[in-house]
Structure 1
């Protein structure tokens, strides 16, 4: 069975939780949600998943279906305790993201008089400073991957370092998954690097879609494709309605 781009992105998101241990997976978006559930069904059975409200799920239902097994109760105050204690790995979106991992979901333009008002800062600072964070970007473009974000919502490596040990102690950006590539910050200066290119994506295509110079070394690996067993889980168990195709174009 051949995997399409959306299914490759699902597996790339799932891999962000590999080795996370018994933590709360908090995916934001369709592809990350499928990825978290795929990880739970395969290589990360210890992951905690919620129904998006106040319950920990003991099973892994299809998208849009209710959980039939309740593993625990997770009201808002306990959720915040998990965030503050580092027992959560969130995968957020980003309206803008720069090479240092600073994220903007608040506004476009000068914050005193923005051209576009977005979600607001919300919980991004606490997420990035207190527990592992990853990002999902369904449209990799120079408008999203920018030289400098218009406002910092999620804290990147440069700003965490400038703030000192209180900010860097638990700060870690694990992965950035886009519809073109997988990126991380495992460099000496903690700036973004290419971890893998999705099949069919060229180095020039990735560079052209990025708003800052991005080195794509020769021999950079391809993002792994899902196995036959993973494809079956994606297509028949987790997302039989094909909601993934609304987020990533074929």
Structure 2
């Protein structure tokens, strides 16, 4: 585990890292199992992007804000939302309007070196080793948003694979220009944030590369836990961890009941490695 993490949880760090890349006035969408995603959007709105507008994909609630983190689909968000849209409106936005959303934030069972994501199952579809929630609206969000973020609470060879078993959300497909060659609009994954680091995608090859590693994480550790060869820059940066002011805003205005710390502590294996 990174040496600096004694003062904050994994969920808190991922929320802050995602929020830092959001801009004022952007439109965003998050999915059902989305505590970290909700926290990231509300944190950005509190700190530097007050006009960011986000909506619950499954529920249609826009900007539910109360200082309590709930999954985006929770009906209790209705009472604290600025507006609620019905399903036909949501379908118009999600399925038909190219680049209506500036970004989506998505978790996955698997992701690969070109940022394709799988949320259906691991292994043979008829007899899977692990079954996920399915595609839901992920295909449209990855295909039509200006960009998307991959948010992973685990980083190991089972989650970071050479090729996903099912492409539920199109990343950069086969790399290079293949995304637009297949007729998709420009876009794709911008960042992947994990317990080990922050990763982006090279402009030409579109292959995943190291952007920064969290404090205490080594290049060998990342390579050992990734099922494909990551691109490595000449100089590896260290992730800037949440500072005292960011944690204060997060805990006192966004996540006042400590959901992120309870649900998303640092993985046990990393805690052992730090000792």
TM-score, reference length from structure 1: 0.87
Extract unaligned runs of 5+ from structure 2: 71-75, 268-275
Aligned to 1:72: 83
Asked whether the equivalents of residues 100 and 158 of structure 1 are also in contact (C-alpha less than 8 Å), the reply is: yes
Q: For residues 230-245 of structure 1, what are the structure 2 equivalents within 5 Å? A: 230-245=246-261
- Say whether 1:153 aligns with 2:168: yes
187-196 vs 55-64, which deviates more? Answer: 55-64
> Could you say which residue in structure 2 is the equivalent of 1:82?
93
| Corresponding residue of 1:4 | 8
Paired with 2:79 and 2:137, the residues of 1 have a C-alpha distance of 29
Match 2:217 to one of 201, 217, 240:
201
Whole-angstrom distance in 1 between the partners of 2:34 and 2:128: 25
What is the distance in 2 between the residues matched to 1:117 and 1:170? 30
* 1:138 paired residue among 149, 153, 169: 153
In angstroms, what is the RMSD of aligned CA positions? 2.6
Name the CA shift for 1:204/1:244 in 2 (closer, same or farther; >3 Å).
same
State the aligned residue count.
249
Secondary structure of 1:139's counterpart equals coil
Q: Work out whether residues 59 and 68 of structure 1, in 8 Å CA contact, stay in contact via their aligned partners in 2.
A: no
Task: Decide whether aligned partners of structure 1 residues 163 and 176 sit closer, same or farther in structure 2, where only a CA change above 3 A counts.
Answer: closer
- The corresponding residue for 1:228 is 244
Aligned mate of 1:219, from 229, 235, 241: 235
**2:107–2:151 contact (8 Å) kept in structure 1:** yes
Residue deviations 1:188-241 (CA, integer Å, cap 9, x gap): 110101111112212111111111112333432122222322111112221122
Report SS of the residue matched to 1:90. Answer: strand
Distance 1:112 1:58 in 2: 39
Structure-2 separation of matches of 1:119 and 1:176: 20
